[in-house]
Amino acid sequence: MHIAINPKLARFATLGVLSFVLLGITLNGTGLFAPDASRAAIVNQVAGLIPALFFVAGIWMVGRAFRAISRGEAVEVALSSLMTRLGACLFVGGLAFVFAQPILTKAILGTSPWGWFDIPSITLGCLGLLLMAMARPLREAADARTELGEIL
């Protein structure tokens, strides 16, 4: 069963998801501007934004892939690039949640462990590694397919 996906509609849906995520991050970050916010609360909120930036970048990469497909780029090439970029965003975002966020909090406040054992973030990081590993064979297959098309 083959399902046709309209790249423009998919891009619109991706931008919708990105908008909702950015709205959520913005609403979550309103505590940064509260006049009675403690230093610890501000540091925790700023540190919490670091992984979110990488995850938002991952959503943005999906939109870029749909844009490339709608411009006529080969699907295999666009997906290979998407898998590499999205994988990197998920991997670094997972690392940022598990290590960067607590280390930044520890450096500024001195009250945090060196890392947080967070299963969802570790899973996202591992998924990112898998996507990056799978992107290369997909790119090589696309190159081989192009070369075969030129020969025939």
Instruction: Give the model confidence (pLDDT) of 1-38 as tens digits.
Output: 445 667 778 778 888 888 888 887 777 766 666 777 77
The confidence score (pLDDT) of residue 3 equals 52
pLDDT in tens, 101-111: 888 888 888 87
Q: What is the mean pLDDT of the segment spanning 129-150?
A: 87
Q: With CA atoms as reference, report the closest residue to 65 among 84, 47, 93.
A: 84
Domain borders along the chain are 7-151
Q: Please report, as a single letter, which amino acid is at residue 100.
A: A
What is the distance between the alpha carbons of residues 74 and 105, in angstroms, rounded to a whole number?
44
Q: Could you tell me the pTM of the whole model?
A: 0.78
Location of structure tokens 């009250």: 111
Average pLDDT, the chain: 84
| 3-state SS assignment for residue 118 | coil
